[in-house]
A = this chain, B = another copy of it.
Amino acid sequence: MADKRFYQQSSPLFLEQLAKIGEAELRHPLPSGLSPESLIYDIGTLEEATSRQVAVLHNMKYLKAFTKSKAGACVVSPEAVAKAPCTMALLVSNHPYRAYALMAAKLYSKKARQPLISKSAYIDSTAKIGMNCTIEEGVVLASHVEVGNNTCIQANTVIESGVLIGHNCGIGANVTISHSLIGDNVVILPGARIGQAGFGFAMDEKGHVPVPQVGRVIIGNKVEIGANTTIDRGSVGDTIIGEGSRIDNLVQIAHNVELGRGCVIVAQVGIAGSSKLEEHVIAAGQAGISGHLHIGKRAKIAAQSGLMKNVKESEIVAGCPAVPVTMWHRQNVVLARLACPKKKKIEST
């Protein structure tokens, strides 16, 4: 499936190996012609996968495609088993997308890069680089930068003075990082800007007065940061991204924001200064969060919503200004009814 120009597959896997890797159950009896030792070579979509590939049904929107799929194997939830085509081996899991993720990662395990420090990189004499690192062309590592082992920094990225980067990190091309301490296994996609001064000044009609921004950005282990995302350093104190949080492209995170562990911040979200998100908060695309707010654990913030108040643990909010999501749905229903000409008659009776 994957273009050989760009990807190299690992060895094929037995169905029973896949099941084990994905912590899934290989459902018996298997379709005729298949055995636990049948080989799977690749991943594929429900629509295009062949008998040698594994697909996943992780969204019931694609149930129809599933029933017609020619995939040799498919990861499914228990409820979908009955609808499967009879030619398909089933890898059953209560968390099919997670199971699939584990399998796919094994079929496309990253090839080890040949470590290499490009001669065209500019590395200050006081910078320290760990073992097995790749530092590509045009990279700048300024004074006192420290980079852990097995970390790769791609071309034309600029790491400014004093920044610490942990082990096993992947920093994309054309990235800028300053005033930051970055953990292990962190992935930063191209064009991200981390550690620049926040938007801090006292407004004054005679000329706004900038406030020195003398904090840092602290990024926990296993964080992923999207392309062209911006994370400003703290004003006084730090901007903190908790371990395992995943941030999509074009997100704005202002000074002194704190994200707990495992947060998910979708593309184009903006979080204003000093707001604190507890662990496992999900903010969907284009949502905006005002400054100085507190968002409780596991709260969910719908796409495009605008938060002006604190949100409690596990609460789901939507709309602008954001309200509990059930309230938002009722507002939409009421508004639709009032605006509908037919209903207006009823209203006027």
Contact = CB atoms under 8 A, between A and B. Distances in A.
A255 B194 CA distance: 24
A48 B236 CA distance: 10
A81 interface: no
A104 interface: yes
A202 interface: yes
Nearest to A247: B199
A249 B193 contact: yes
B101 A210 contact: yes
Contacts of A112: none
Contacts of A246: 199, 201, 208
Given A104-B211, A262-B208, A140 B140 contact: no
Contacts of A196: 172, 189-190, 226-227, 249
B303 A304 contact: no
B140 A45 contact: no
A73 interface: no
Contact of A228 (B105, B228, B267, B320): B228
A112 B160 CA distance: 17
B176 A176 contact: no
A173 B158 contact: yes
Nearest to A288: B286
Interface in A131-183: 136-138, 140, 144, 154-156, 158, 160-162, 164, 172-176, 178-179
Nearest to A174: B176
Interface in A291-349: 292, 303-304, 306, 319-321, 323, 327, 330-336, 338-341
A202 B97 contact: yes
Main secondary structure of the interface of A (DSSP, over half): loop
Interface stretch (A1-9, A12-20, A28-36, A84-92): A1-9
Contact of A158 (B174, B209, B237): B174
A264 interface: yes
Residue among A6, A178, A280, A288 facing the most chain B CB atoms (10 A cut-off): A6
Contacts of A210: 101, 105, 224
A155 B140 contact: yes
Contact of A214 (B108, B144, B160, B335): B108
A72 interface: no
19 contacts: A2-B215, A5-B162, A6-B214, A45-B237, A48-B237, A98-B202, A101-B212, A107-B212, A108-B212, A122-B137, A122-B138, A174-B175, A191-B228, A205-B262, A207-B244, A208-B264, A268-B288, A330-B339, A331-B338
